[in-house]
Amino acid sequence: KKLTSSEFRQMFLDFFKEHGHMIMPSASLIPQDDPTLLWINSGVATMKKYFDGSVVPKNHRITSSQKSIRTNDIENVGKTARHQTFFEMLGNFSVGDYFRNEAITWAWEFLTSPKWLGLDKSKLYCTVYPKDIDSQKVWEKAGMPKNHIFKLEDNFWDIGEGPCGPDTEIFYDRGQENNDVAEDDPENFPGGENARYLEIWNIVFSQYNHLPNGKYVDQPHKNIDTGMGLERVLSILQGAPTNFETDLFLPIIHATEEMTPGKKYGVNKADTTAFKIIADHVRAVSFAIADGALPSNNGRGYVLRRLIRRADLNGQRLGIKGAFLYKLVPVVGKIMQSHYPEVMDQRGFIENVIQNEEERFQATLDSGLTLLDELIAKAKKSDNKTISGKDAFKLFDTYGFPYELTFESAQDAGLKIDKKGFDKEMQAQKERARKARGDLQSMGRQDVTLMNIKDKSEFEYGKYEEDHAKLID
């Protein structure tokens, strides 16, 4: 069936509504009551209050399409067929209501019934936790061919303490022609690192409580949480080789093509990747800003800054001159409007924020990129194939290249960066800035050059890294 993204999203919600669920609108991307999380990164992240019992929902069956951001996937964007930073997670949740039987049976029904998605059963596979015999039985009874059920030790969701349990993942076979590993590669199976078997849906059976003493006990109320990647399933429904050749991305990609001096999507790998990165990042920043985030030097704001600069760097590589990303905001707004009016509603504001941020970076982008290319050439000739910390820091400090951007470019070129050296330069910079601030006060006037130093010291990269380490999976 060739459904549009809106039709498919609605169909999922309708299916679970028919099975007694209440439809919950997507929550904000910015966690409302959870200081441990930087971004909402899944449907279940918004359901914590129901699962921990602090709030009792009106209906114990809930379904939603949840806006999600995963920064741990930034570098996957454009490289894999299946990852974005911003995506929608479709989900159904049982708060102490139905359990394994219904969760698996309904998933199978939704995927395969001609009334719903009607996917080819011979292309569906699943993985289960080896000791979770119950799930294997339910899968077989539902109609999953026995030899399409794979046992995987990884299929146990456990964060050390608290609710946990086995999970089962569903995969779609995109055919041997889409595989990027050899036939005899140990990763060549559903659940392995390959592009043939696309993970589309994850179902978690939260049935145990992991106690501080290491014991596992049954939970009095067992919960179900599931997550299905909307864009991934859409790629199957629309016959797209990756998430990007779907109605959610193509209009953005085409609008980007118009801004290049004649570059086309799909002609060569480097350009195609750049188009994908731009289309992904503009969605992420548009929605993040609509939900109240703003570019800054740490935490969430730093993620936005990094995404905007990464998009601009890729725009530059496609030959686009000057700020451009903000011009794609109305395209994103229009695609998503029927279900998420927030981008269109705040269009002017979002455009302004992005354009301002772009202009700050564009001022130094050309010379920064020239320097980056020089540094890469220099490092390639060096014995240790490493960009020095000093050089990486110069890119950061003078040209506004986030460390991760330089790191990624180095990696693509098969090079390393002296991270320790970079951190040392950063520390020295902070020292200088502190001193400068002291001098400034004693002089009792605002010297322009010193103010500039102060401004740069606010680029607290170290702070962000700390947040990053703590808050992101």
Asked if 410 and 416 touch (Cβ cutoff 8 Å), the reply is yes
Kindly state the smallest distance separating residue 357's Cβ from ligand ATP, in Å.
Answer: 23
Nearest distance in Å: CB 191, ligand ATP: 9
Among 228, 284, 289, 350, which residue interacts with ligand ATP (rule: CB under 6 A)? 228
CB 314 within 8 A of CB 307: no
Q: How many CB atoms lie within 10 A of CB 344?
A: 18
| C-beta of residue 89 within 8 angstroms of C-beta of residue 68 | yes
* Angle, in degrees to the nearest 10, between helices 389-399 and 347-381: 150
Could you say whether residue 202 binds Mg ion (CB under 5 A)?
yes
Strand partners, 208: 164, 218
Q: Report residue 432 CA to chain centroid gap.
A: 36
Contacts with ligand ATP, 26-45, as mask; x by CB under 6 A: ----------------x---
CB nearer to ligand ATP: give 87 or 399: 87
Residue 275, amino acid = F
Which two three-digit tokens encode residue 317? 């590589």
Residue 309 near which of ligand ATP, Mg ion, none (CB within 5-8 Å, type-dependent): none
Part in contact with ligand ATP (CB under 6 A); list of ranges 17-25, 82-90, 139-147, 382-390: 82-90
Give dist(CA 199, CA 173) in Å, integer: 9
User: If binding is defined by CB under 6 A, does position 82 make contact with ligand ATP?
Assistant: yes
Q: Rounded to the nearest 10 degrees, what angle do helices 269-290 and 347-381 cross at?
A: 140
Query: Of Mg ion, ligand ATP, none, which one does residue 286 interact with (CB within 5 to 8 Å by kind)?
Result: none
Asked if 9 interacts with ligand ATP (CB under 6 A), we say no
228 binds, among ligand ATP, Mg ion, none (CB under 5 to 8 A by kind): ligand ATP
Of residues 180 through 199, those in contact with Mg ion by CB under 5 A are 199
Torsion of CA 377, 379, 381, 384, to 10 degrees: -160
Helix crossing, 419-443 with 448-457: angle to 10°?
140
82: closest CA among 218, 221, 193? 193
Q: Which is nearer to ligand ATP, 132 or 231 (CB)?
A: 231
Helix (H) or strand (E) holding 100: helix 100-112
Check residue 87 for interaction with ligand ATP (CB under 6 A): yes
Q: Is 199 in the site for ligand ATP (CB under 6 A)?
A: yes
Which residue in the set 163, 166, 229, 315 belongs to the binding site for ligand ATP (CB under 6 A)? 229
* Of 111 and 353, CB closest to Mg ion: 111
Answer yes or no whether residue 232 interacts with ligand ATP by CB under 6 A: yes
310 interface partner picked from Mg ion, ligand ATP, none, CB below 5 to 8 A per type: none
Q: What is the footprint of Mg ion within residues 287-346 (CB under 5 A)?
A: none
Q: Should residue 127 be labelled a site residue for Mg ion when binding is judged by CB under 5 A?
A: no
CB 362 to Mg ion: min, Å = 32
Question: Is position 85 an interface residue for Mg ion (rule: CB under 5 A)?
Answer: no
With CB under 6 A as the contact rule, the residue among 200, 279, 289, 332 that binds ligand ATP is 200
φ/ψ region of 445 (left if φ > 0, alpha if ψ in -120 to 50, else beta) reads beta
- 80 vs 386, beta carbon nearer Mg ion: 80
Pairing mode, strands 162-173 and 156-157: antiparallel
One-letter identity of residue 157: W
Going by C-beta distance under 8 Å and a sequence separation of 6 or more, which residues neighbour residue 394?
371
Backbone angles phi and psi of 200, in degrees to 5: -115, -25
Close Cβ partners of 35 (under 8 Å, ≥ 6 residues apart): none
Residue 166 in the binding site for ligand ATP (CB under 6 A): no
Nearer to Mg ion, 173 or 199 (CB): 199
In whole angstroms, the minimum distance from the beta carbon of 288 to Mg ion comes to 19
Query: Which residues share a beta bridge with 92?
Result: 63
Which residue, 157 or 459, has its beta carbon nearer to ligand ATP? 157
> Which of positions 40-79 make contact with ligand ATP (CB under 6 A)?
42, 70, 73
- The answer to whether 182 and 188 are in contact (CB under 8 A) is yes
Query: Which residue(s) pair with 166 in the sheet?
Result: 156
User: What residue 165 binds from ligand ATP, Mg ion, none (CB within 5 to 8 A, per partner kind)?
Assistant: none
* Contacting range for ligand ATP; rule: CB under 6 A; set: 24-32, 99-107, 116-124, 196-204: 196-204
Contact footprint for Mg ion (CB under 5 A) = 199, 202
Contact footprint for ligand ATP (CB under 6 A) = 42, 70, 73, 82-84, 87, 89, 199-202, 227-229, 231-232
